[in-house]
Amino acid sequence: MLVKKNFKKNISKKKEKKSKEILLQNPRGMRDILPEEQNYWDQIRKVLEQSYRDYGFGRMDLPILEYSDLLIRSIGEGTDIVDKEMYSFVTKGGDKLSLRPEFTAGLARAYLQHGMNVRHKPVKIFSMGAVYRYDRPQEGRYRELYQANFDIFGEQDAVMDAHIIQLASRILAALDIKKVQFQINSIGCPVCRKNYLNLLKKYFESKKNKLCQTCRKRIHTNPLRILDCKEDKCSQVAAQAPQILDHLCDDCRLHFRSLLEYLEELEIFYVINPRLVRGLSYYTKTVFEIWPIGEEGKKYSLGGGGRYDNLVELLGGEKTPAIGFALGLDRVVAEMKKIKAKAYVFPIPKVFLAQLGDLAKKKSLKLFSDLEKNGVLVAESFGRGSLKSQLRIANRLKAEITIIMGQKEALDGTVIMKNMATGTQETLVVNEKLPFIIKKALKNNGKVIKK
């Protein structure tokens, strides 16, 4: 009997131990971006930083959480994002929050909250960071993804639509992604879209049996979304659907025609795609996506955007025309790798700092800081005790000069400068002139020029 009890107790302990084991892997649809993968990301950050400043944008960083009601009202019920993809929860205090699935709703909220409507128009804002969508993970699609957003508030002229497309084109070209096409459409305004939606509903109702289950529901909730459904049978039905470009009001038609004329002037390659609608309810007039030109088969977008002239008013502000676009940085990185685009190259240190002994180690930290402050890029291996092992590292890094500080040098206030190509050594005094002497030596193939 006692054996049986002990056996049960051991089983219970094993179960308890097993339940406390930590699963050492990413949540599904999320991943780590390792140091060796950062070259492409650093290149993107560099280009984005330069671009938003050159085009007169100010940066705004938004919270990763927004009130769920804000997102639902902005993005719209009946959209995939709201119905299927938002990470929503209730806090301990009872607030209903969601991880941001995109930036535009939060930007419009911030625009109103901080009184940006009184600023000189147009107001240009750049944002960048992670967004979250509970979608089925697959190649090029994650549940945690990264976006860069460019948005302009307060200007309704079509020249701004062209300007924002010009900016997107410039960024991609700077990343060596030059073979792209802009898929463009106009989805009209609430005035002309109302009649078109009624026409669309009647058409899809007559073809209901040929649609997928999801699109059958969309007929009465969001018929525009049927136009870009990826199911083959839905695509065939959508191909014969009435086109919104035939039903635009005069204002929307003129706006779209002006945009195309601007793009012709800029020599930007575009294709009119009457089935392009984007998946968010706040869009009006211009919508566009950026597709890489390459292999045939499944098409995917590197980014996209459009006008949302009524969003600020919908959230309680005054009528404020606006346009913006987002780049999907994960897909941009994938495209850069695919075409072997130029990645960021980290500057290689030409100087290695070696030390020997405890006192030298302490003094070396100060010397490292002084060199770095004066623009000398230095590599080191403070944890290594052997001078021989440190010199091996200097050789592996192809350093031109190694600065050596041993116990004697630390006491004397000097260092030994070794030319790694010739093996010659010179003793230098550690003072404010040392960084400039090292800089000059680098320019002269590791030789100190004495006056």
Asked whether residue 344 is assigned to any structural domain, the reply reads: no
Asked whether residue 285 is assigned to any structural domain, the reply reads: yes
pTM for the structure as a whole:
0.85
* From 104-118, 288-302, 315-329, 335-349, the region with the lowest mean pLDDT: 288-302
CATH number at residue 382: 3.40.50.800
Asked whether residue 7 is assigned to any structural domain, the reply reads: no
Q: Is the predicted pLDDT of residue 399 greater than 60, yes or no?
A: yes
Selection from 150, 158, 179, 153 nearest residue 51 by Cα: 150
Asked whether residue 226 is assigned to any structural domain, the reply reads: no
Asked if 432 and 298 sit in the same domain, the reply is no
Q: Which range marks the domain in which residue 73 is found?
A: 35-189+249-338
Asked if 393 and 254 sit in the same domain, the reply is no
Token pair of 318, please? 């005054």
Calculate mean pLDDT across residues 234-247.
90
Asked if 110 and 258 sit in the same domain, the reply is yes
Q: Is the predicted pLDDT of residue 84 greater than 60, yes or no?
A: yes
CATH number at residue 106: 3.30.930.10
Q: Report pLDDT for 451.
A: 44
Specify the residue for token string 């793009």.
Answer: 263
Q: Report pLDDT for 300.
A: 82
Asked if 62 and 118 sit in the same domain, the reply is yes
Element (H, E) at 129: strand 123-132
Asked if 174 and 316 sit in the same domain, the reply is yes
Asked whether residue 218 is assigned to any structural domain, the reply reads: no
Q: Which residues contact 174 (CB under 8 A, 6 or more apart)?
A: 47, 50, 51
Asked if 373 and 325 sit in the same domain, the reply is no
Asked whether residue 448 is assigned to any structural domain, the reply reads: no
Give the pLDDT band (50/70/90) at residue 100.
very high
Q: Is the predicted pLDDT of residue 153 greater than 90, yes or no?
A: yes
Asked if 331 and 367 sit in the same domain, the reply is no
Asked whether residue 11 is assigned to any structural domain, the reply reads: no
Distance between CA atoms of 234 and 204, rounded to whole angstroms?
A: 10
Q: What sign has the CA pseudo-torsion 278, 283, 285, 286?
A: negative
Asked if 331 and 396 sit in the same domain, the reply is no
Give the pLDDT confidence of 114-147 residue by residue, as tens digits: 999 999 999 999 999 999 999 888 777 899 999 9
Proportion of the chain above pLDDT 90, given as a percent: 63
Q: What is the mean pLDDT of the chain?
A: 89
Q: Report pLDDT for 2.
A: 47
Calculate mean pLDDT across residues 252-278.
94
Give the pLDDT band (50/70/90) at residue 444.
confident
Distance between CA atoms of 231 and 228, rounded to whole angstroms?
A: 9
Give the pLDDT confidence of 319-329 residue by residue, as tens digits: 999 999 999 99
Structural domain count, the chain: 2
Selection from 102, 99, 83 nearest residue 91 by Cα: 99
C-alpha distances in Å from residue 404, one per residue of 105, 392, 414 = 57, 13, 9
Selection from 374, 360, 378 nearest residue 416 by Cα: 360
